[in-house]
A and B are shown apart, each in its own frame.
Chain A
Amino acid sequence: MNNIFVYCEHENGRVADVSLELLTKGRELADTLGCRLEAVVLGHGLKGIEKELAKYGADAVWVADDKELSPYRTLPHSAILCGLFEQEKPQIVLMGATPIGRDLGPRVSSALYSGLTADCTSLVIGDHTDNKSGKEYKGLLYQIRPAFGGNIIATIINPDQRPQMATVREGVMRKEEAKTPAKGELKTIDPRKWMKDTDLVVKIIERHIEERKINIKGASIVVAGGYGVGSRENFRLLFELAETLGAEVGASRAAVDSGFADPARQVGQTGTTVRPKLYIACGISGQIQHTAGMDESSMIISINTDPEAPINKIADYAITGSVADVLPKMIKYYKQNSK
């Protein structure tokens, strides 16, 4: 049987959220297809990790434990994945669209001649009939993603090559423990079976990884700014409002590209997906690349000088005015009237 494999990332023994989100989605897809869900973890000091992954629906957990596998390096991880996938022939492989997944995915897909779709926002099982040959395909993975700067939504399929590979950004899928925990049967990989000395030529000589300081995903209120905010200085008003409301500051890609805000604050398809109870969009026009990452917010307030800005179409309140004018008024009112 050709199963669904999820490549799971972890740091300091903790499985990454994005991997648990993918297991949750993978469980749903496996149930639809009637196949098994299998997790793959490569690293060092992984004892007992299968228990955590079983909670999220992994029927089997492949583990390669070797000090050469941590921290992550491209070649040893791709050598083992390629070997494992050639042996197990999965029909679907999912990875996080993280710095690791985006480095590893293409390397593996190139070696296996399989297709890879980056940054999917939705994964669905469906059928397909080829227009030219009339050939019918059952149970393909529809890999759905915005493209062209988010101005179109494309559904991508891999009719003939296996595995069908896709990456998904953190926060896009929901993370949920399986209703009935899976077995999480431990399958130990001997790393040396596939990892050669030539895979160890790249050396990490220094590494400074910090705990994430900015956490817009967990914030219940997000004050986000776009290109229309105009400058890094004007962004200070957003920080001031955020501090007043106990919110976190987000930004559109245009604002990040213009240097107004830190890349870690980017909301959208190529940034973080957020679902706060309140999203205040300041000077954001509302391209789908951005709205894909925030349109599930419970309430959206848009502040824009352009009354026709596309974001107003998904907003609950559309304020026509400048950020410099409106934000100080909000700050002042809140300070005077909140307890």
Chain B
Amino acid sequence: MKALKIVVLAKQVPDTRNVGKDAMKADGTVNRAALPAIFNPEDLNALEQALELKDKFAGSTVQILTMGPPRAADIIRDAMFRGADGGVLLTDRKFAGADTLATSYALSRALVNIQPDIIIAGRQAIDGDTAQVGPQVAEKLGWPQVTYAEQILSLDEKEIKVKRRLDNGVETVTAPMPVVVTVNGSAPDCRPQHAKRVMKYKYARTATELQEADMDYLGTLHGDRPYLNIVEWGVTDIEADEVQLGLSGSPTKVKTIENVVFASKEAKKLTSADGDINELMKELIASHTLG
């Protein structure tokens, strides 16, 4: 087996899983600024699958491809600390406002540049839960897709064998290479950051970050150590049709957004004292709600 060029599609997302009290404003809406930006959890499962392939097939490389604002370079660094070789950040005002279709188009243009042997992505991102980008990228490239992957069982030049986790069971499929695989959260967790890799890659920066840092030292360091460069591409770098990007490339439009504010209904307040609980249970039995 030759060395593989592996791309992991990843997204930086707000941590919507545990919206704590600090993140709730007085009016009951969410203060987005208070939510930390994290590596989308299932994309980490995808990264682990990629790193396992890299371990298995000598000389293979793992690159992260993500689209987002400049700060999304954080997840590329995080991935490098865990074992990835580098990454590409698609960032351009013209990408903004993209729905899943326009996102998939931009990613697919970048992938045409990169020419990977296999693309691995998380099943879905926690901020939208759509699970659309993986299959849409596959369609744009004309590649087959294997969704809900739990384990890559085997792989050679021609074919990949994957165990899929479905709602009510498992399925093992083979697909020809190249292929897009989307990975389920039930797959193994990603390995942690490695201290040596953190030392090696902590100054990895995009061109924008280098400019903003304005530090001669970093500039010199990057000249000497090209592996510290995180690639940054805009619209012109991926030769994209601008009409298919951002808002104009998005068939779905957001008509309205409502913040969720709970309409209060008067709950009967009880304590955990025996008397309260027994009284409640008695009522429920009497009303045939129980039994």
What is the interface of chain B mostly: helix, strand, loop, or mixed? mixed
For A110, give its contact among B127, B140, B166, B271 (CB under 8 Å): B140
A320-B167 Cα distance, complex, nearest whole Å: 35
Cβ of B265 < 8 Å from any Cβ of A? yes
A321-B256 Cα distance, complex, nearest whole Å: 38
User: What chain B residues lie within 8 Å of A209 (beta carbons)?
Assistant: 166, 168-169, 171
Given A150-B260, A314-B265; A155-B173 close (CB under 8 Å): no
| Chain A binder among B1-9, B88-96, B130-138 | B130-138
For A317, give its contact among B133, B186, B267 (CB under 8 Å): B267
Output the nearest chain A residue to B273 by Cβ-Cβ distance.
Answer: A321
User: What chain B residues lie within 8 Å of A99 (beta carbons)?
Assistant: 147-148, 166-167
Cβ of B272 < 8 Å from any Cβ of A? yes
Task: Point out residues on A near B: beta carbons under 8 Å.
Answer: 71, 74-75, 78, 98-99, 102-103, 105-107, 109-111, 113-119, 128, 142-143, 146-161, 201-212, 221, 227, 245, 253-254, 257, 263-264, 269-270, 277-278, 286-288, 291, 298-299, 301-302, 307, 310, 312-322, 325-326, 329-330, 333-334, 337-339
User: What chain A residues lie within 8 Å of B175 (beta carbons)?
Assistant: 201-203
CB distance from B112 to the nearest CB of A (A): 15
CB distance from B261 to the nearest CB of A (A): 9
Closest CB pairs A-B (n = 9): A149-B16, A321-B272, A115-B251, A115-B252, A161-B251, A106-B132, A209-B169, A110-B139, A106-B135
Q: List 25 A-B contacts (CB under 8 A).
A: A102-B131, A103-B135, A106-B134, A118-B128, A118-B129, A149-B19, A151-B19, A152-B30, A156-B253, A157-B253, A201-B144, A203-B175, A208-B169, A208-B171, A210-B168, A245-B290, A286-B262, A313-B262, A315-B267, A317-B280, A318-B267, A318-B270, A320-B270, A321-B272, A338-B290
Q: Find out whether the CB atom of A146 lies under 8 angstroms from the CB atom of B18.
A: no
CB distance from A35 to the nearest CB of B (A): 20
Cβ of B278 < 8 Å from any Cβ of A? yes
User: What chain A residues lie within 8 Å of B161 (beta carbons)?
Assistant: 205
User: What chain A residues lie within 8 Å of B136 (beta carbons)?
Assistant: 106-107, 109-110
A78-B269 Cα distance, complex, nearest whole Å: 53
Q: Find out whether the CB atom of B256 lies under 8 angstroms from the CB atom of A118.
A: no
Cβ of B240 < 8 Å from any Cβ of A? no
B-side interface residues, number (CB < 8 Å): 80
Which residues B249-285 have CB closer than 8 A to chain A?
250-260, 262-265, 267-272, 274, 276-278, 280-282, 284-285
Output the nearest chain B residue to A264 by Cβ-Cβ distance.
Answer: B167
Given A204-B172, A205-B173; A326-B267 close (CB under 8 Å): no
Q: Find out whether the CB atom of A74 lies under 8 angstroms from the CB atom of B135.
A: yes
For A316, give its contact among B135, B173, B268, B274 (CB under 8 Å): B268
A107-B142 Cα distance, complex, nearest whole Å: 10
User: What chain A residues lie within 8 Å of B140 (beta carbons)?
Assistant: 110
Given A154-B256, A211-B168; A204-B173 close (CB under 8 Å): yes
A227-B277 Cα distance, complex, nearest whole Å: 22
CB distance from B206 to the nearest CB of A (A): 27
For B252, give its contact among A117, A318, A320 (CB under 8 Å): A117
Given A156-B253, A313-B263; A334-B147 close (CB under 8 Å): no
Which residues B159-193 have CB closer than 8 A to chain A?
161, 166-176, 185-186
Q: Find out whether the CB atom of A107 lies under 8 angstroms from the CB atom of B135.
A: yes
A66-B19 Cα distance, complex, nearest whole Å: 48
User: What chain B residues lie within 8 Å of A320 (beta carbons)?
Assistant: 269-272
User: What chain A residues lie within 8 Å of B132 (beta carbons)?
Assistant: 102, 105-106, 109, 116, 118
| Chain A binder among B60-68, B78-86, B99-107, B224-232 | B99-107
Q: Find out whether the CB atom of B138 lies under 8 angstroms from the CB atom of A107.
A: yes
CB distance from B45 to the nearest CB of A (A): 12
For A334, give its contact among B30, B138, B290 (CB under 8 Å): B290
CB distance from B187 to the nearest CB of A (A): 13
